[in-house]
Structure 1
Amino acid sequence: VSLDGATAQSVAITASDADTLSLTLDGGSAVTFDVADVEAVTATELADAVNALFDAESVDITASTDGGELVLTADTASSSDVASVAVSNVAETLAGASDSGLAGGAESLTNVEAKTVDTLVSEINASSSLDDKVRASNDNGSLRIENQSTNDLTVTGVTSSTIDGGSGTDTIDGNEVRKDLATQFNDLRDQLDKLSDDSSFNGINLLQGDLLTITFNETSTSTLDIQSEDGETINSAYLGLSTIDADALDADTDIDSLIDTVKSALGTIRSQASTFGSNLSMVENREDFTKNMINTLETGA
């Protein structure tokens, strides 16, 4: 078979056993396909087997059946262009096998029917290799491709207005929204570190892991030590927030993972804030107690 005048490739189909076909393309790795009986292969089974081979070898041809005959259609077909699949030198060597409907000599299939926009949309969105990269939709009868990646996307086989399967290319700019979000994330991360660095009073910065010891009596037998957990510096590194590149937001799964990291960081900050708040309450209670005692002593005196 050959596509659009390209170099012909040899398709060999043999029987591995009573219910298994073995298919190769140009003598490459074999693809096996189960059938009911290798001596009575139906057109549908043959089409499915050929499709399995073409999918494995990335051949842009799809096999189907029409009235019990095998039909080969170019995947590059479009309404504005003729895509042809040429079939030549066909020979059956399986004794007793049913007629595939292909005759020897050359057959050319032209003017094939174009895929509909809805079909293209379904196939693009169903492709696992395009997950989180592009999203297709039907925009009033036109194929709309949304680039979800932050990198520019080059589409081959198109012009500025049509899909023709040719050598033309068009470029879809990267997702600017996600690029901007990555920049905002990094800016906020930097501000977090600056806030941690600037949170100093009287030479002590609790967010930098400094130890503040509060003494409640003149003999220093009653004290309270206030410090971050394990004396750690509360900054972006401690919270697990690293600088990100724009392409770190290409995949929705990566964004979800980053959101989980931010949630974990917020949990850590809330926990430390709760600890500092508890320390403050104890200091305020001791302060109120001391003031009340002073007032009582002064009144009694």
Structure 2
Amino acid sequence: MSSGITLSAATRQNLLSLQDTSALTATTQNRLATGLKVSSALDNPVNFFTAQNLSNRSTDLGGLLDGISNGIQAIQAANQGITSIQKLIDSAKSTANQALSTQITTTGTAGTAFSAAATTVNFYVNGDAKSAALTTADTIDTAITALNTSAGSTMFSKDTTGTKIVLNASAAVEFKASADQTALGFAAGTTSSATVAKYGSTGDVVTSGTNLTVSGVDAREKLAKQYNSLLTQITQLAKDSSFNGTNLISNGDASNKLHIAFNEKDSSNLDVQGQDLTADGLDLDAITKNSGATADGKGNFLLDDDIKGTLTKLTSGSDTLRTASSTFGSNLSVVQNRQSFSKNLINVLDTGAANLTNADLNLEAANSQALSTRQSLGISALSLANQAQQSILQLLR
């Protein structure tokens, strides 16, 4: 609807120019205030939605970074556990070697002279049952020969008087009954709760008596207990090597794995399989009274061969730890590389989105100054366009 007011062409043109300038000024001021040249789909649909997609992916990847970071820490916790377990295994090796170097000996001289009698002498050499049949016709020499033949070692001899039997063995020699001791002239031992059934259900023994001394057995037993304590520490340490509820070295079950997603669709990922690096998982058995190759009561590091077997298992355990450490190290390198890649990719996506939507503040600031000047000039031009009408007004006055 017309207002009924007639404006000259120059005035109307100047007004349109001022309106355009005002609109441009408003746009420029909005860009300066928000820092965006595209703040809605109305500004530029293509740039707006492209930038939105880039920003959304950047946000998704940023959320995955927390999971990647937790995965790195879980692997590092496992690796730290492996390093500490290796130190405990080294200590266990040292303990086993100390037991191996601890010499077991049985020494002593009979308290009375040997007297021939028809009897069978039953005794144990490092837990192995031995027996020697003696007769009334035996001299001390033939008796010693029979004993050494049964023992499989020259451990029995006679003293300087030639009448008493001497026992000098690099082994634990114990007699089944006190009668076996007295038949050779040694003082009778007594039954003790610490020694009864020492070598299994049928391997009863008696104490050494006053004439015999067995050394090294107790020392090896104490070292066996020390070894067992180290195995307990290995298991406890493995179970404590967790991060945020994830433990990769205390359970080798197939379900115990760490899943790390590297992209928003989980089409790129890594599964880190857990391993059982406890004492049981490393096949390290506690040394007990009935441990050993045949579990017949010859445990507590009594036999050198069993100690050597233990050392072999410890070496195998160390190899397992090294393999596990290498595997976890390789996985850690992959995850750290993907973490760095994701951070850089997020930066690329954010930069790409910003390039599509962010305003050039330097340019917009210059535009603002130019538009301000332009608006001032427009107002001056409008004033000049109205001067003709003002002249007519002067005539009417």
TM-score where L is the length of structure 2: 0.37
* Structure having the larger proportion of residues in strand: 1
Higher relative contact order, structure no. (Cα contacts within 8 Å, ≥ 6 residues apart): 2
TM-score where L is the length of structure 1: 0.47
* Structure having the larger proportion of residues in helix: 2
